[in-house]
Structure 1
């Protein structure tokens, strides 16, 4: 139809011109033949005997012209049909959704791609003006409508800031917009519309093409989110480290004050206990900031997810008005995870679900095996994954808040002593990302929220810990402490004396190795050595040097975060007997020196 409209007038004029030439040529030839024959026969212009011959020849010429006209028309019509079929095949076979409007705004073409995109069949929309129903809930013009009406001034009214004039084609406009009516969650489309003119330059319609860029848009948003979280993580990590050093001094002086206060001074003792509790909470916040900043260094092991989900749910919702319903298949694949990290994620999600249902309710925990392919709209590598979900039926989350959920310190909850500070989901995101997984949230106000988590299938055998090595304190045994921080050395001295140990201190590895060798040669070996993990020489190198002196050395590693430092995370497999997180308390130090069998 487009080809016919564009070429009809020009092709008709061409055919008529050709027919006129043929007929005129036939008439001229017939006349010349007529006159020539008459002259040759009797050398006069008495042409009556040959009049019939002339008319006969003219009739033959006209018949030939008419025959040629019929053949020409059939050939031209066939060419036109083939041209239209080629255009139709191109539009129908295009993977880009395309529709064409006529001058009257009625749909002329509606290809297969737009049928799939809009779920509207061509036969239901061809020759109608209902094309807007594919993209909007209420009637309004599409870009093609505005171009057909040549009302370009109205474009900003309907597409303000969303489209621009094409740099490649005149009378074409392009843009990007979100269409919430498409699909279950809406789709991002890149649309381009251009006018259609015939050979005389008259506008006869418009074509509009739409490309689904939802996955590309999601990937861009995910990349922006990652970059934003990385930037915030660097800042958070730096603050946490500095804050941790300040907490060390506070905690150790509180401890010193506690062991110095008189037994009868209950008020001072209670005040110190409150201060210590607040400092320990600050220490936990510091560890969370460090986990958020780097996502931790997971101790990956092949783990069945079902018991982890059930056990964590049981401890988290215990003594609450919330109950859990599980849909967990028996054939669920194992996953390669750090169970302490994933346990923290499960706990945070269940706490959020519990707080979303203050009047109680049911939390659904589901899991299933899935295979992610390139056609799935997920920012994951192709392969096998376990998808598990936590669903509540609480207050829900507004649409405008969903994109900010994983930002640190963003929360939809009312601030109170019982709620967190908005690090929970940010930590969950960092942890799942570190596990090469993905976490996403779907929510509707007053309906509920579903959090989906994807974790890769396990590719390693089940993990088994090395045998534990006990370190026992007997009598006035001696501990060697190597730490560059004077505050930590002073605090360690107070705690070790309180626990009944003597201690020596070294500020650097050279002194530590010399002290250890001297004590061993004097037959007064150290019971254990506490090593600062932040030493520039590398704590693993110091441990190797100590082993050269004594293969059975008892070494304890002290670092900022057990999940941030790889050696802290796997201290036993690296040959250490224990590990403590700085700033450590007296109970932490006691547990490291006297591990439970």
Structure 2
């Protein structure tokens, strides 16, 4: 017996060890992660402890299975690395999605929830997945709702994510999104402090599982068995009802409703009283509606029988009542016109719609009273009528929003045509006056030329007399040239050589020249960093001189002429006739007697003048020519004046910041005796021009058209005696002109030095001659001095 005692002790020790090992094997310790902010499934309470349906379910599963389960609260993005590293055995509340099923083994479902949305009550409700299309929806990042929306591409909605559900609800209340999307049971744990509407999405269902590592069948079986046990013993139903809601409703008992009978009785009495009051109000409203209907009927009858083109726009009901005469005005029968505002808007001329909308918008905002607009409308036959539309808002709501507007249409077509005819007659009168003035001034100049020609050929005339008469003939001819240039400028803007120009010197020189010898003071005011303008400095100088001379003559006893210039970024429709963009505005302001208001509309007409015409009073073409020049530059002139007050002329010129293109250079050296080729189809001009150039000491060759000039140039190159300069007439009747000839010459000699010449003063090649490959330009008629200057500009350096 004593000998067996040690054996018994060893046996007992072995049994204890095996029992401990068995206990450890049978009751492993599981680490399960749950979300710390997903109520009512799982969250952390005020004491920092995990709680919620899933947490209590895990504790009950631990109790019935004997398995120790450590619950680890956290966020999904924190748990995933722990799970992947094997430090978490399972994760709670895993949504059944293809991605999760591919990465985890899922237990049987322990919760099933519907989707739901919170919305502002003024937004269209979302009740199905199809209603999400085109909406903006908020949800919480890393939530089941977020995963569901990602998996289904948000059902066509734009998705916004937030860190918490409360942030999503706040954004919905602010109107940053149309709805906040979550599961139905989350609403029990959220404080809906904004009073948002709630809608269940019946065709969105979530099933939640416990997720374990792929291949960990032992843990999966353990969780499934424990979960099944809890479901069988009734504890699952109690937890589900506590945290989420009853799974199946039980039969209603009298004891359940007894505490509510008295409040329900009072409620029913209140409802009965309300129904009685409502019926009384409905009867009252019905009587008012009938009275309104009769009033509308009387108004419509009066409208139809008045003979006026009246419209009545009911904005609340989105329809317009057009009278019979309103429709007849445009050629429509009563049943041919749709009673909507869109039907009338479609008939408005496209050029008038923007202006009309601005006027109507101002009146609807209570910024103008009454509403008045003139515009064109298309009739049924396709013609256009001018309409005067006058109306007023007759009813607004408590917030001032318009509810109803009435007005009339008046046909202005005949009145407009009469006004246009009057303008045409006025222009014809101006043109007739211009033609008479032209004839008068040219006859005077021709008389001077004829008489001095006769005197120069008088037998008794001395050399001195002949030279004097020739000088007078030349003077009259150049005056005729200047007058012709003025007429061309009046008609088309005249020849101008435009280049980016700093305007200060042009303004100062022109104004000082115009005021020379007068008692008027001159002030020049320029904005710092004044923009450059793409102008012909000589022509703009002429405009400034004309306007300053007008200012000088308006101040016979002296005064101050102020010329100012400023940069102006012009918006569309800022100045009539000008596009939006950058402009330089030049103001010429005097302190003279002003211009009567009734004459302001005619100041730019030909031969208009506030002075008596006479030997020293001029022709009255200054303002006309000035306006023509400025318009050819892409600008305009406005005038502001009234009697006994100052006058201001404002010139608008397009600004630019492009530097002028330098003239082409050549490496060719000037020969000792330059050779000049002249091409012109007028024999008299060609011969005279050749004679003058020979007087300069140059060799001259003559050609009658472009083809002949090209041949002359080719032979000269082959003979090693190239021409130094070529003068080409721009237009040759029935043959090659100057531009084509220049192309042929440049194929022979890319460095050809050419001068363009023409009697068509408005030709583009004269204004922008460098862009066409010429080195200088000559406008017929021209003086010997002008010819010498052009040759000097075109010649290669000596």
TM-score with structure 1 setting the length = 0.57
Q: Distance in 1 between matches of 2:768 and 2:463?
A: 43
Q: Is this contact kept in 2: 1:386–1:454, CA < 8 A?
A: yes
Partner residue in 2 for 1:480: 677
- The 3 A distance-change label for structure 1 pair 509 and 383 is closer
State the 1:470 CA deviation: 11
| Aligned: 1:581 with 2:792 | no
Partner residue in 1 for 2:533: 335
State the 1:529 CA deviation: 2.1
Q: Is this contact kept in 1: 2:609–2:620, CA < 8 A?
A: yes
| Aligned: 1:499 with 2:708 | no
Q: Is this contact kept in 1: 2:370–2:390, CA < 8 A?
A: no
State the 1:363 CA deviation: 0.9
SS at match of 1:448: coil
Residues 390-421 of structure 1 deviation map (CA, whole Å, 9 limit, x = unaligned): 11122332333322222233333332344432
Q: Is this contact kept in 2: 1:472–1:594, CA < 8 A?
A: no
Q: Which runs of 5+ in 2 are unaligned?
A: 1-277, 297-312, 319-356, 373-378, 380-384, 395-405
| Aligned: 1:537 with 2:792 | no
Q: Is this contact kept in 1: 2:678–2:700, CA < 8 A?
A: yes
Q: Distance in 2 between matches of 1:408 and 1:263?
A: 42
- The 3 A distance-change label for structure 1 pair 69 and 573 is closer
Q: Distance in 2 between matches of 1:208 and 1:78?
A: 24
State the 1:232 CA deviation: 6.4
SS at match of 2:368: helix
Partner residue in 1 for 2:756: 557
Q: Is this contact kept in 2: 1:476–1:502, CA < 8 A?
A: yes
State the 1:559 CA deviation: 1.4
Tell me which of 480, 484, 489 is aligned to 1:286. 484
Partner residue in 2 for 1:442: 640
Tell me which of 257, 275, 289 is aligned to 2:473. 275
State the 1:358 CA deviation: 2.4
- The 3 A distance-change label for structure 1 pair 556 and 584 is same
Residues 345-401 of structure 1 deviation map (CA, whole Å, 9 limit, x = unaligned): 222211221222222211122333333334646222223333221111223323333
SS at match of 2:789: helix
- The 3 A distance-change label for structure 1 pair 113 and 457 is same
Q: Is this contact kept in 1: 2:666–2:751, CA < 8 A?
A: no
- The 3 A distance-change label for structure 1 pair 409 and 556 is same
Q: Is this contact kept in 1: 2:495–2:766, CA < 8 A?
A: no
- The 3 A distance-change label for structure 1 pair 349 and 482 is same
Partner residue in 2 for 1:463: 660
- The 3 A distance-change label for structure 1 pair 474 and 319 is farther
Partner residue in 2 for 1:114: 369
Tell me which of 572, 583, 588 is aligned to 1:385. 583
SS at match of 1:370: strand
Partner residue in 2 for 1:7: none
- The 3 A distance-change label for structure 1 pair 559 and 98 is closer
- The 3 A distance-change label for structure 1 pair 377 and 329 is closer
Q: Is this contact kept in 2: 1:97–1:113, CA < 8 A?
A: no
Partner residue in 1 for 2:623: 425
Q: Is this contact kept in 2: 1:232–1:293, CA < 8 A?
A: no
| Aligned: 1:347 with 2:545 | yes
SS at match of 2:770: coil
Q: Is this contact kept in 2: 1:296–1:431, CA < 8 A?
A: yes
State the 1:280 CA deviation: 0.6
Q: Distance in 1 between matches of 2:575 and 2:765?
A: 37
- The 3 A distance-change label for structure 1 pair 297 and 94 is closer
State the 1:272 CA deviation: 1.6
TM-score with structure 2 setting the length = 0.44
- The 3 A distance-change label for structure 1 pair 502 and 262 is farther
Q: Distance in 1 between matches of 2:681 and 2:484?
A: 20
SS at match of 2:480: helix
| Aligned: 1:360 with 2:615 | no
Partner residue in 1 for 2:686: 489
Q: Is this contact kept in 2: 1:469–1:577, CA < 8 A?
A: no
| Aligned: 1:547 with 2:741 | no
| Aligned: 1:372 with 2:577 | no
SS at match of 2:663: coil
- The 3 A distance-change label for structure 1 pair 468 and 262 is farther
Q: Distance in 2 between matches of 1:280 and 1:456?
A: 32
- The 3 A distance-change label for structure 1 pair 403 and 537 is farther
SS at match of 2:772: coil
Residues 509-558 of structure 1 deviation map (CA, whole Å, 9 limit, x = unaligned): 22222223333433444342221111353412211222333343332211
SS at match of 1:444: coil
SS at match of 2:769: coil
Partner residue in 2 for 1:516: 713
Residues 458-480 of structure 1 deviation map (CA, whole Å, 9 limit, x = unaligned): 2x522242256799998765432
Number of aligned residue pairs: give it.
422
Residues 60-106 of structure 1 deviation map (CA, whole Å, 9 limit, x = unaligned): xxxxxxx999985576468879999x98999xx9956999xxxxxxx
